[in-house]
Amino acid sequence: MSFRIDIVSLLPEIIKSPFDSSILMRAQKKGLVKVHFHDLREYGEGKHRQVDDYAFGGGAGMVMLAGPIFKCINELKSQRDYDAVIYTTPDGQKFTQKLANKLSLRENLIILCGHYKGIDQRVRESLITHEISIGDYVLSGGELAAAVISDALIRLIPGVLNDGSSALTDSFQDNLLSHPIYTRPSNFEGMKVPDVLLSGDSKKIEIWKAEQALKITKAKRPDLLEG
């Protein structure tokens, strides 16, 4: 069974392009993942397909209505079981490689893209299983965050990357940043590749990589090593 992501958005057209090229496109062509986009305005209320309104109690900005979101997500749920319903929001849990690893083991996910000032709180309390933020900043909408989350999950699916071990050696796996990497030529304008990488001694190379990863993590992200 392939991995499936349903992305619910007010502006699905701005999120589709990342899925039409490179690794994400190949993953879909291989049948390893299915990505579907749903325009929330199709579930809007009334003649004008309304999807937002002013907040009770006043304040700047609009709020996404509960009705269209419930209609869309309940329709999707009537067709299959979903392992998670994710809402992209600045006040959500910070997205990490550890969380990506966990979510990549699921089969069917819904990602609801936030917009305006956010969504009616009753949606969050009744439908959402995971609230996720990709960083401590605010975007115009959750579409870019949904693309980031999807990319991080899809590349972890077995068979997506040509080298099955590639994702396991990425930065943040095991709470370490990546070690330095080099390619040809071994001597570029006097700058040489470390001798150990040219030695052919796999044990020494692995020790060097581990030491360098630890050194770089201590220097750049010591917080990853806490505890």
Helices (H), the chain: 22-29, 66-79, 97-103, 121-126, 143-154, 195-198, 202-220
Q: What is the spatial distance between Cα 132 and Cα 146, in angstroms, rounded to a whole number?
A: 9
Distance CA(157)–CA(168), nearest Å, equals 11
Res 216: pLDDT: 95
Full set of structural domains in the chain with CATH: 3-154 (3.40.1280.10), 171-225 (1.10.1270.20)
Q: What is the model's pTM?
A: 0.88
Using an 8 Å Cβ cutoff, are 179 and 220 in contact?
no
- Which pLDDT does position 191 carry in this prediction? 97
CA distances to 38, 63, 105, 170, 224 from 220, in Å? 40, 39, 30, 16, 9
Q: Which long-range contacts (CB under 8 A, 24 or more apart) does 64-68 make?
A: 64/10, 64/40, 64/114, 64/115, 64/116, 64/118, 64/119, 64/120, 64/123, 65/120, 66/119, 66/120, 66/122, 66/123, 67/43, 68/40, 68/41, 68/43, 68/44
Per-10-residue mean pLDDT for the chain, 227 residues long?
Answer: 92 94 95 97 94 94 96 98 97 96 96 95 98 95 97 95 63 81 96 97 96 95 88
**pLDDT value of residue 174:** 78
Q: Which residues of 126-140 are buried (b: 16+ CB within 10 A; e: fewer)?
A: ebbebbbbbeeeeee
CA atoms within 13 A on the CB side of 12: 14
**How many residues in total does the chain contain?**
227
Under DSSP, the state recorded for 180 is P
Task: Indicate the DSSP class of residue 157.
Answer: S
The answer for residues whose C-beta is within 8 angstroms of residue 59's C-beta and 6 or more apart is 117
